[in-house]
């Protein structure tokens, strides 16, 4: 005997796969709304042929997660009524929304078997639940990894372009400004030429040599400045990259009792940009929902800055 609570907004008709396998002792409660109130002819035929008891609940929408709250409330109502009658059936929430995980954990702590499944077939065939992934899950995982790769690419380009900034030095152009004075200098010395001998032309060469020397000195100073700036800006970036891994690893070691899984958990935290991505990676790695939920709860304060719920 089992109760199946369907989050039809989330799973649509695919969540009803396996309804024809249910028995007379099973009850299916379909929660739907104006946002999801249609089904295929094939599903309609299966609902008419199934031996299970079908109950429809139309949810009033208008607020965020309206269907989720009403489904959770009805679950508590069912559990209380069955326990008063001395009946202890199994309860299944058919959804892909991981927000119901906290609800499952709570009822398991009270000794009530509540599970989250993707469709009715998984409730009748536990092996399918453990070994098979639906096409939708594979598509979402590839989309998440592709989005993470795209977000990581601009960071590498920025790191490559940052050291180039000190090369933008316009200082060598400054000594060019006194050039109009060079043109005026020979003109002033050329005016007294009819009155004096060629000796006036000789001192005119001295200032031109000094100006050439100032050009070389200013250019050499700017080159020294650019050479001194380049290594100074690279050092802080190297220190940060060396300190960050140690801080994250120490934080994970403090919250986890099993120290052997610390490197893998740290790897997932760095690899994925969303909380959902980290949770999926933990489920794949350890293949134990109870252990995964314990690990995720322990590291949840460390990934508060990640996107998602």
Q: Which of 120-124, 127-131, 244-248 has the lowest mean pLDDT?
A: 127-131
Span 135-148, pLDDT tens digits: 545 555 555 555 55
- At 228 the pLDDT is 52
Tell me: pLDDT of 110 over 90. Answer: yes
Q: Which pLDDT score, from 0 to 100, does residue 151 have?
A: 54
Q: 50 versus 219: which is more confidently predicted? A: 50
Please say if the pLDDT value at position 4 is more than 90.
yes
Looking at residue 138, what is its pLDDT?
A: 57
Q: Which residue, 27, 28, 33, 43, is CA-closest to 8?
A: 33
pLDDT band at 168 (very low <50, low <70, confident <90, very high): low
pLDDT band per the 50, 70, 90 thresholds, residue 302: confident
Q: Which residue has the higher pLDDT, 294 or 194?
A: 294
Res 74: pLDDT: 95
Q: Report the pLDDT averaged over residues 62-85.
A: 92
The predicted structure's pLDDT at residue 197: 47
Spell out the residues 6+ positions from residue 23 whose beta carbon is closer than 8 angstroms to its own.
51, 52
Mean pLDDT across the stretch 211-224? 54
Return the pLDDT at 187.
Answer: 46
Check whether 87 has a pLDDT greater than 70: yes
* Average pLDDT of the segment spanning 272-298: 87
Of 165, 157, 150, 155, whose CA–CA distance to 240 is shortest?
155
Tens of pLDDT along 93-107? Answer: 999 999 999 999 999
Average pLDDT for residues 196-206, to the nearest whole number? Answer: 49
Quick one: pLDDT at residue 189? 44
What's the rounded mean pLDDT across residues 252-263? 87
d(CA 93, CA 100): 8
Averaged pLDDT score across all residues of the chain: 74
């Amino acid at each position: 005997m089992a109760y199946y609570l369907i989050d039809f907004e989330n799973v649509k008709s695919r969540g009803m796969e396996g309804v024809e396998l249910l028995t007379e002792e099973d009850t299916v409660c379909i929660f739907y709304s104006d946002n999801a109130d249609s089904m295929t002819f094939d599903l309609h035929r299966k609902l008419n042929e199934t031996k299970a008891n079908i109950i429809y609940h139309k949810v009033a929408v208008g607020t965020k997660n309206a269907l989720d709250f009403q489904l959770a409330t009805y679950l508590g109502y069912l559990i209380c009524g069955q326990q008063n009658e001395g009946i202890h059936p199994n309860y299944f929430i058919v959804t892909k929304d991981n927000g119901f995980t906290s609800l499952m954990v709570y009822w398991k702590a009270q000794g009530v078997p509540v599970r989250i499944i993707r469709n009715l077939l998984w409730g009748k065939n536990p092996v399918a639940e453990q070994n098979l992934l639906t096409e939708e899950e594979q598509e979402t995982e590839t989309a998440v990894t592709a989005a993470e790769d795209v977000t990581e690419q601009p960071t590498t380009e920025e790191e490559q372009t940052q050291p180039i900034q000190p090369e933008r030095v316009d200082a060598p152009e400054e000594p060019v400004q006194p050039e109009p004075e060079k043109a005026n200098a020979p003109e002033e010395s050329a005016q007294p030429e009819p009155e004096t001998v060629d000796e006036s032309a000789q001192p005119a060469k001295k200032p031109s040599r000094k100006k050439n020397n100032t050009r070389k000195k200013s250019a050499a100073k700017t080159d020294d400045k650019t050479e001194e700036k380049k290594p100074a800006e690279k050092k802080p970036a190297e220190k940060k990259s060396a300190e960050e891994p140690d801080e994250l690893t120490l934080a994970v070691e403090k919250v986890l009792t099993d120290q052997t899984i610390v490197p893998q958990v740290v790897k997932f935290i760095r690899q994925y940009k969303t909380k959902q991505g980290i949770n999926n990676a933990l489920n794949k790695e350890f293949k134990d929902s109870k252990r995964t939920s314990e690990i995720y709860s322990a590291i949840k304060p460390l990934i508060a800055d990640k996107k998602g719920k």
